[in-house]
Amino acid sequence: MTLQRLFYTSRITDDDVVRGPTIARRIAEASARRNAECGITGSLAYIDGHFIQVLEGEMHPLEETFERICNDFRHREMKLIDYQTVPARLFPHWHMACVIDADEGLEGRAGSLSEIRLLSTLNVREALTAMLRLVDEADAQALAA
């Protein structure tokens, strides 16, 4: 079975933008639960009203999951950045890691968060690396706290 990685961005709808961080956290929690059942891992970043999500897993469950996301009207302007076969997972320990710009402790890193958003349109590999770094840092911070 080949391992696929999918990377997309989208924007939250205008009606929801006020509750954005809450919605993002709820989405990440729900998808982590579902992903645990079908072996999908990945991360979700919510930055300034934008979602940036990485999904990794086997083709069938991954495509099913993405199709479900495509039927979700809580976001718009979906842009598939990258979809390809990869040798290994970037987020093997996260069914859905979640980084949200409103989270405490991330104030200092607002810069790197918006950098991910910009990078996602230009350089997939850089964006993924930045995202991984951010997830690891947030994790370390949570452990320390």
Where do contacts with other proteins occur on this chain (CB under 8 A)?
2, 4, 6, 8, 59, 62-63, 66-67, 70-71, 73, 76, 78-85, 118-119, 121-126
For other proteins, the closer CB: 85 or 93? 85
For other proteins, the closer CB: 129 or 141? 129
Nearest to 65 by CA among 73, 55, 74, 75: 55
Residue 76 in tokens: 């718009």
Smallest gap from residue 98 Cβ to other proteins (A): 22
- CB contact at 8 A, 99 and 134: yes
For other proteins, the closer CB: 126 or 137? 126
Smallest gap from residue 28 Cβ to other proteins (A): 20
- DSSP sequence for 84-137: EE-SS-S-TT-SSEEEETTSTT-GGGHHHHHHHHHHHHH-HHHHHHHHHHHHHH
- Cα angle: 67, vertex 38, 76; to 5 degrees: 25
For other proteins, the closer CB: 121 or 142? 121
Smallest gap from residue 136 Cβ to other proteins (A): 23
Smallest gap from residue 143 Cβ to other proteins (A): 33
